[in-house]
Amino acid sequence: MIDIKTLRQSSSSGFSLIEVMICLMIFSILLGFSTHLFQRQRALLQLQRVVHAFIADAQLTRQYSRELSTFISMRPLSSNQWNHGWQIQVGDLSKEQGVRVLKQYAFHAETLTSHIQVAEDQLKPSQQFTDMSTPRKTRHISFNRGQIAVLHNGGFVANRIIWQHQHYPDLIRHIILGPGGRWRICNPKEDNQACINH
């Protein structure tokens, strides 16, 4: 004879289909949210990698200039656009002959840096370390015997560049070179000092 009381207890001890579906739905929501956070954090690391590499190589350019006691530049790798990367070189900016490359930092599709770009729409024509004194408006950060960044005609560059992630446009960092030759990284969302775009 079947005991109805025992049957009820055994049926109530399992999970119903609705409960399983609710658990799966909650799990998928949490998974989607955590994936988004992971991708965003990865994007932030990509941005920071480029920002710190840019400043480190600009400082290295100045150090080379001081040590070699000559005019050394950091300039875009190709097409006068920083988006492709940059190189540190000894030699005249206006002539390709006699130029010696000391270091390169290239953006490749297979590396983390391939998703970072310059926020062109947020910059004035004279920014991005653009030398308005040259006919082709050459972009460069140049040092003469360790002196702070100079233009081709000898003037001083007080300038900035804005790096942005392609997939997360709100991830932005301003790199600002101040009059004293000091670098500052500014996050427009969090920095107490506003990233004022003069």
Given this model, what pLDDT does residue 125 score? 87
- Whether 43 and 168 have beta carbons less than 8 Å apart is answered as yes
Given this model, what pLDDT does residue 18 score? 82
Residue 10, in any domain of the structure? no
Q: Can you give 67-135 as a three-state secondary structure string?
A: HHCCEEEEEEEECCEEEEEEEEEECCCCCCCCCEEEEEEECCCCCHHHHEEECHHHCCCCCCCECCCCC
| Domain boundaries, position 114 | 44-186
- Whether 149 and 155 have beta carbons less than 8 Å apart is answered as no
176/131 Cα distance (integer angstroms)? 16
Extract the residue ranges of the chain whose pLDDT is less than 50: 7, 198
CATH number of residue 61's parent domain: 3.55.40.10
115/136 Cα distance (integer angstroms)? 27
Residue 28, in any domain of the structure? no
pTM above 0.85, yes or no: no
Residue 196, in any domain of the structure? no
- Whether 66 and 146 have beta carbons less than 8 Å apart is answered as yes
Q: Which two tokens stand for residue 123?
A: 């910059």
Q: Which two tokens stand for residue 19?
A: 């409960």
Residue 113, in any domain of the structure? yes
DSSP label at residue 181:
S
Residue 51, in any domain of the structure? yes
Q: Which residues pair with 117 in a beta bridge?
A: 164
Q: How many domains does the chain have?
A: 1
DSSP label at residue 139:
B
Given this model, what pLDDT does residue 7 score? 47
Given this model, what pLDDT does residue 30 score? 76
Between strands 100-106 and 141-144, the pairing is: unpaired
Residue 57, in any domain of the structure? yes
Residue 76, in any domain of the structure? yes
| Tens of pLDDT, residues 160-190 | 999 999 999 999 999 998 877 789 999 988 8
Residue 98, in any domain of the structure? yes
